[in-house]
Amino acid sequence: MKTIKRNDLKFLFTVICFLQIISGTRAQSIERFVIGSTGGLLNGEGISMDHTVGEVAVSTLDAAGYLLTQGFHQGSLTATSVDRFLLDIRILVTPVPARDRLNIQLETNEAEITYQLIDLNGKPLGIRKTVPPASQVTHEVDVSKLASGTYIIYFRESTGVAARSVRFIKY
């Protein structure tokens, strides 16, 4: 009976490890996919819409061809430009985190601004205020009945264009 030497075992172990690495190596490809908290597919008369919640918005708009793509799940990505920058508004939300009340200081220069409190799922919470153009106001908002968590104050101009959003924490 032949005895196995220590060097033979090292060589055998090295060969087995090398073969395992080679057999487990495969070419990789990256497929497009979305990790969203929810979403779906809607189909109607010649129109289909995929939607997800929780991904960064990217725009591709084409009015003549009825094309609207928004987000990273689209078939091809197109570089876009910003036609109009956000409105010149100044927002101060205090205190953060909030317990019973939230102070929203808002200064507008150009247009009427409406703001609304929503939860992280996009559900409006019934608190909505409008601020006239060229004004500086402070609103005290009662948040005592809200459950603890993170909320969003969504600001938009009178034409419906989103101006800005601010997150706050209720504890």
Name the β-bridge partners of 115.
129, 155
Q: Are residues 75 and 103 in the same domain?
A: no
pLDDT tens track, the chain, 171 positions = 566 667 778 888 888 887 777 766 665 555 555 556 666 777 777 766 666 665 555 566 666 666 666 655 555 545 555 445 456 788 889 988 899 999 999 888 777 888 899 998 888 888 888 888 888 899 999 999 999 999 999 888 877 777 688 889 998
CATH code of the domain containing 126? 2.60.40.3080
Q: Are residues 110 and 149 in the same domain?
A: yes
Give CA angle at 63 (59, 67), nearest 5°.
55
Q: Are residues 62 and 42 in the same domain?
A: yes
Question: Is residue 17 included in any domain, yes or no?
Answer: no
* Cβ(8)–Cβ(45) below 8 Å: no
* Cβ(164)–Cβ(115) below 8 Å: no
Q: Are residues 97 and 78 in the same domain?
A: no
User: In the chain, how many domains are there?
Assistant: 2
Question: Is residue 98 included in any domain, yes or no?
Answer: yes
Q: Could you please report the per-residue DSSP string of 116-145?
A: EEEETT--EEEEEEEE-SS-EEEEEEE-TT
- Domain boundary (27, 47, 82) is at 82
Q: Are residues 94 and 148 in the same domain?
A: yes
- Look up the pTM and report it: 0.49
Domain that holds residue 122: 89-170
